Structure 1
Amino acid sequence: MLLYIVTLLVVAVDQFSKIWIRAQLPLGDTIEVWPGVLRFTHIVNTGAAGSSFEGYGRLFVPVAIAVVIWVLYAKRKGQLEGAWLQTGAAFFVGGAVGNAIDRVLFNQVTDFIAWSGGRGIMNFADLAINIGVLLGIAGLLFARRRRAASAGL
């Protein structure tokens, strides 16, 4: 259940944050959320990360579907052992689905999170994908360590 609950939460937070930004912050405008650290700047992206593949964002919808299918398959086969791996997969899938929803509905993704000193502007789905990768790596390392300990290595 952890995988499904976290996935739904990630998609919900992503979609509600984008709805709020579209309703409250005109396109191109910026508000300081945490001066010197975080600001929200409303932009749209018709491509992928860093505005690469501009205009071809819908091509990433089948990729998101493939990610969901692969994660569901891996879960069914017992390959997502442990809370770390399941949570990482859920964040990754939730992020992929969140951005795919935007691409299907609007042919673009709403981005707004800008870290001071950072490059680019992202959204919660992008953050979730990054968090998912980190949690997945941690889960793999913990599982490997657990197997080594149980094997007496």
Structure 2
Amino acid sequence: MFYIIVIFVVLLDQAAKLWVRFHMEVGQSIPMWEGFQLTYFRNSGAMGSSFEGYGRLFIIPAILVVIWAIYYLHKGMLNGIMLKGGVALFVGGAIGNAIDRSFFGWVTDFLDFGRGISNLADHAITLGVLFIFIHHLIICPLKRKKARSCTS
């Protein structure tokens, strides 16, 4: 299931970005509903356009995250559906943005909620982190309380 989630996130993210690149001009906005629009933006930095122009440097951490996740998965150290799912979402998002950075030197952002522009990979990473926190801050303590052990 881990690899299915990773592949799904990467394919969905890349398909959405491809659609934006082929159907929109940079800077163009398409209103969808109140408070949300599609806005094509090329982000050559990190989240929130920080480190503008240094986006390719984030390929290395993405590769390291993928290697770490696969190593921990194969060692059996990612226990529980919430933790595995969270790490898979994070890895899928990291790969999705790394693909953009590798080919273009920037990431295609297009989801505009009025507080910055993001993409599906960004949201997969955020949701993944949330799942990982839920695992470590809620599920693990409950398991420890019940069985006195939670290793991951």
- TM bucket (normalised to shorter chain) is over 0.9
- 1:139 positional shift: 1.9
1:67-86 matched pairs, under 5 angstroms? 67-86=65-84
- Between 83-92 and 134-143, the greater mean CA deviation after superposition: 134-143
* Per-residue deviation, residues 123-145 of structure 1 (Å, max 9, x unmatched): 00001100000011112221331
1:107-118 matched pairs, under 5 angstroms? 107-116=105-114
In structure 2, the partner of 1:3 is: 2
Superposition RMSD on alpha carbons, in Å? Answer: 1.3
- Say if 2:21 is the partner of 1:22: yes
Question: Which secondary structure state, in structure 2, belongs to the residue aligned with residue 78 of structure 1?
Answer: coil
- Say if 2:110 is the partner of 1:102: no
Percent of paired sites with the same residue: 47
* Per-residue deviation, residues 19-61 of structure 1 (Å, max 9, x unmatched): 0011111111101122x23111001011111111111111000
1:1-150 matched pairs, under 5 angstroms? 2-34=1-33, 36-116=34-114, 119-140=115-136, 141-150=138-147
CA distance in 2, matches of 1:44, 1:110: 5
Q: What 5-or-longer segments of structure 2 have no aligned partner? A: none
How many pairs does the alignment contain?
148
Question: Which secondary structure state, in structure 1, belongs to the residue aligned with residue 72 of structure 2?
Answer: helix
- Between 53-62 and 69-78, the greater mean CA deviation after superposition: 69-78
Which residue identity is paired with 2:28? D
- 1:151 positional shift: 3.1
Q: What 5-or-longer segments of structure 1 have no aligned partner? A: none
Which stretches of structure 1, 4 residues or more, deviate above 3 A after TM superposition? none
Which residue identity is paired with 2:108? T
Which residue identity is paired with 1:134? L
CA distance in 1, matches of 2:98, 2:70: 17
